[in-house]
Amino acid sequence: MQQPAGRFCAILRSDVPILDTRLIRSSALTLVLVVCLLHSSGVGAQSMLVDSDRPAMSCLPPEDRLERIEPERGDDLPVLIDAEFFSAERGQPVIARDQVRVRQGDRRLETEELVFDRETGRLDLPVLLHYRDAFIAIRAESAWVDSQASRGRFETVGYQIAGSDGAGQAVVIDLLSPTRAELEEFDFTTCDPADPDWQLKARQVRLNLDRGQGVARHARLEFKGVPILYSPWLSFPLSEERQSGFLYPQFGFSSDDGLDLRVPWYWNIAPNQDATFTPRWIQDRGMMLGTEYRFLTRRQRGQVDLEVLPSDQRADRNRYYGQFDYRATLRPGWWSTVNLKRASDDEYFVDLGGDLADSAVQFLRSSARVRGSGQRWSLDFLADTFQVLDEAVSPAAEPYRRLPRVRALYDQPLPGNFDFDLDAELVYFDRDVGVTGGRVDVYPRLRWNYLRPGGFVRPALGLRTTAYELDGGAERSLSRTTPIASIDSGLVFERSLADRQRIQTLEPRLFYLYVPSRDQSRIPRFDTAPLTFGFSQLFHHNRFSGPDRQADANQLTLALTSRLIETADGQSPLDFSVGQIVYFSDLEVQLPGRSVDSRSRSATVAEANWRPRERLRLNAGVQWDSVENETEVVQFGLSYRGRHARQVALGYRFRRDRLDQVDVRARYPVRENLNLIGRLNYSFEESQALEALGGVEYESCCWAVRVTAREWIRDRDAETRRAVFLELHLKGLGSLGRRPYPLFAGQR
């Protein structure tokens, strides 16, 4: 059959032997392999500023970007061939010339000449060809594919990934089998391929789909034409499955330790196990090794972290930190957890921690727990101990070990709108210094619930009994029984505002609490401390945490809440609450060293949350002591996220005689792709900056860089540490370097 004149168009079924449809699939195999290679590197144009609404920049104009199309795959799909000249004579190769178009599903092949030998199964594409499918577009100067031998070769190849800026070239692509290929002189970038700022290059790349692995020889990463990373041998996965290999290095510089370099190596032990080994070189301290091991089964998961710095050159001793975190499901409704932590010395986090929060760690808590729960009950078995890291904590003030602690909770609805609750605890406290012993605490209570759309009344009556068996004290056995009575009530008024799009509520609430005074001066203080006074504390049955002190009370809480509610979605852009406790008798139960409190009313507590715009949030709280005419607590927070990466976060905290700090964080764009970032955490109490950070972020269409300098307080003696951090982010590939921490919540 020969059609030299006019235009030939034919639709071939998969069972017609003129042109085997496997050729289309085989020709596309190497392209799929390239997609796998680049997908394993995370191709994309994601921004470094992931919490910004700035649209992702592209190095290519919109008309040059390859948009992803909907895949249409299937071996039974027909093959459409369109050409100006077509010849298929008996005993001769099938030839198509001049504007040849081959299509099967979403696959498109365009060339000027196509020759197919039906006897050998060889397809020759001797001139320029263009291939396109849902995932990739490829251009090659020439190609051939042998369907019988499942081999092929593409020469002088250029490719572009659909839906991203990923693109590159290869001098030769050899198909060795349906699952293996080799690429010579391969490169990849998400920049403009004509003038790339960075490129990932390899002299040779071998791809094996059977093993799900690719191997690159003489791989190097170039930035602005300068090699910044090189590896003679590099292995990478060809699928979502994890594979062993090096991760990107991290580096920084600090004033007291010098250069800090980390080179992580990942080990894919099994589908449910992996480990990461991180050799770390600290210039002034020496070599350090960090290890992270993780495992996961149907009922268990765990992680082991260990950092070892043998022979610290500055501290002249061995340093280490270890942590084991484990959780297991024992049976439906029952699970266990283990969390163990230990450091070599008290100064470990001060010297080797990353920020102010690390250096402020006082204790390392290790615990083991078994917990079960049902519809109406829960049971908790716990044992824990503490390693004290703060030298300012005396042995008599160290936290107690609880060996063990058993807690039970039970709630049961009863007829007539009643419900019954029970809290019970059994615990043994142990410590090297001071009184030790066991404690039993039982608190049953009965509550009646009267609930209506416009209000509620909830009277409750309970009896709390606490008993002790002690060692090392003046008395061995002690007990205390205290009745607790309360009435909680409230009303809800609503009105529609003029625009009918919002509802305003007015919610007055009264809470009366009566607890008779009991002498508790002989009872030791194991785990009890004053609760931080706030709005929620206005409705609590005890002003102390822990059962060692049950506060006496004859008091009435008066509170008022008002909200604005959007009728469309139920969101509340504004809410305000204010409340105060009126005391009808003196507060006699106090901790040791404190006298009876004879005030007639508590501080007035007010809280407000306001969201005037979607990008702006404000919250504030204040406690005003009208008796002493003093402000007890002030808290203020502002969060603003504007357009084009603008962000501001402001926080202020004040607690009389204890705390007076402001924390400001900001990102400000000085140009379209250049941002200034900074943070200042300042203590007015000490007249000193606790932390200061400043830096610059630059972002182009395919890469970004962040440089930050930081100074922060490293210990209680107000010694400071200075550090410089550099992070280079190559879009579609990953990040090199290290940042101190995310400046704003939600950032990578």
| Reported confidence tier of residue 74, pLDDT bands at 50, 70, 90 | low
Decide the pairing of beta strands 226-237 and 213-223: antiparallel
Residue 45 clears pLDDT 80, i.e. is over it: no
Distances (CA, A) of 261 to 357, 412, 591, 730, 737: 22, 58, 50, 19, 9
Residue 71 clears pLDDT 80, i.e. is over it: no
Residue 40 clears pLDDT 60, i.e. is over it: no
647-653: list long-range contacts, CB under 8 Å, 24+ apart. 647/51, 647/52, 647/744, 649/744
| Reported confidence tier of residue 29, pLDDT bands at 50, 70, 90 | very low
- What's residue 234's pLDDT? 75
Decide the pairing of beta strands 273-282 and 107-117: unpaired
Token pair for residue 197?
Answer: 């700022």
Residue 218 clears pLDDT 80, i.e. is over it: yes
- What's residue 735's pLDDT? 77
Residue 90 clears pLDDT 70, i.e. is over it: yes
Let me know: does 163 contact 68? Beta carbons within 8 Å.
Answer: yes
- Is pLDDT larger for residue 721 or for residue 376? 376
Decide the pairing of beta strands 167-177 and 79-83: unpaired
Q: Which of 478, 479, 443, 481 lies closest to 461 in space, CA to CA?
A: 443
Let me know: does 280 contact 257? Beta carbons within 8 Å.
Answer: no
Summarize the confidence of residues 167-195 as an average pLDDT.
87
- What's residue 483's pLDDT? 98
Let me know: does 210 contact 195? Beta carbons within 8 Å.
Answer: no
pLDDT in tens, 237-259: 666 677 787 887 887 787 778 88
Lowest mean pLDDT among 19-28, 397-406, 429-438, 694-703: 19-28
Residue 557 clears pLDDT 90, i.e. is over it: yes
- What's residue 116's pLDDT? 86
Lowest mean pLDDT among 13-17, 249-253, 485-489, 742-746: 13-17
- Sequence-ordered strand ranges (E) for 13-133: 79-83, 85-87, 94-104, 107-117, 122-125, 129-132
Residue 150 clears pLDDT 90, i.e. is over it: no
- What's residue 748's pLDDT? 43
- What's residue 354's pLDDT? 61
Residue 17 clears pLDDT 60, i.e. is over it: no
What is the maximal distance between C-alpha atoms in the chain?
115
* Terminal CA-CA length for the chain: 63
Residue 290 clears pLDDT 80, i.e. is over it: yes
Let me know: does 574 contact 609? Beta carbons within 8 Å.
Answer: yes
Contacts of 357 (CB under 8 A, 6+ apart): none
239-246: list long-range contacts, CB under 8 Å, 24+ apart. 239/36, 239/40, 239/212, 241/212, 241/268, 241/271, 242/266, 242/268, 242/274, 243/212, 243/213, 243/268, 244/268
| Reported confidence tier of residue 5, pLDDT bands at 50, 70, 90 | very low
Token pair for residue 152?
Answer: 């092929």
Q: Which of 128, 122, 132, 75 lies closest to 95 in space, CA to CA?
A: 122
Residue 463 clears pLDDT 90, i.e. is over it: yes
Let me know: does 392 contact 490? Beta carbons within 8 Å.
Answer: no
Residue 97 clears pLDDT 50, i.e. is over it: yes
- Is pLDDT larger for residue 715 or for residue 592? 592
Q: What letter represents residue 489's amino acid?
A: S
Question: What whole-number distance in Å separates Cα of residue 195 and Cα of residue 192?
Answer: 5
Distances (CA, A) of 504 to 452, 576, 640: 19, 11, 25
Q: Which of 150, 15, 8, 6 lies closest to 88 in space, CA to CA?
A: 8
Express as a percent the part of the chain with pLDDT over 70: 89
Token pair for residue 91?
Answer: 């005993």
Token pair for residue 59?
Answer: 């190095």
Lowest mean pLDDT among 30-34, 210-214, 388-392, 585-589: 30-34
Residue 384 clears pLDDT 50, i.e. is over it: yes
- What's residue 737's pLDDT? 76
Question: What whole-number distance in Å separates Cα of residue 559 and Cα of residue 577?
Answer: 7
Let me know: does 83 contact 94? Beta carbons within 8 Å.
Answer: no
Please count the CA atoms within 13 angstroms of the CA of 147 that sit on its side-chain side.
20
- What's residue 634's pLDDT? 95
pLDDT in tens, 615-673: 899 999 999 998 888 999 999 999 999 887 899 999 999 999 889 999 999 999 998 88
Residue 555 clears pLDDT 60, i.e. is over it: yes
Residue 734 clears pLDDT 70, i.e. is over it: yes
Contacts of 519 (CB under 8 A, 6+ apart): none
Compute the mean pLDDT over every residue in the chain, rounded to the nearest whole number: 86
- What's residue 16's pLDDT? 41
Summarize the confidence of residues 448-475 as an average pLDDT.
93
Phi, psi dihedrals of residue 62, rounded to the nearest 5°:
-55, -35
- What's residue 328's pLDDT? 97
Most confident of 483-492, 597-606, 613-622, 703-712: 483-492
Residue 115 clears pLDDT 80, i.e. is over it: yes
- Is pLDDT larger for residue 94 or for residue 353? 94
Phi, psi dihedrals of residue 24, rounded to the nearest 5°:
-65, -40
Lowest mean pLDDT among 123-132, 488-497, 701-710, 712-721: 712-721
Q: Whats the size of the chain, residue-wise? A: 748
- What's residue 508's pLDDT? 98
- The pTM assigned to this predicted structure is 0.77
Question: What whole-number distance in Å separates Cα of residue 606 and Cα of residue 620?
Answer: 8
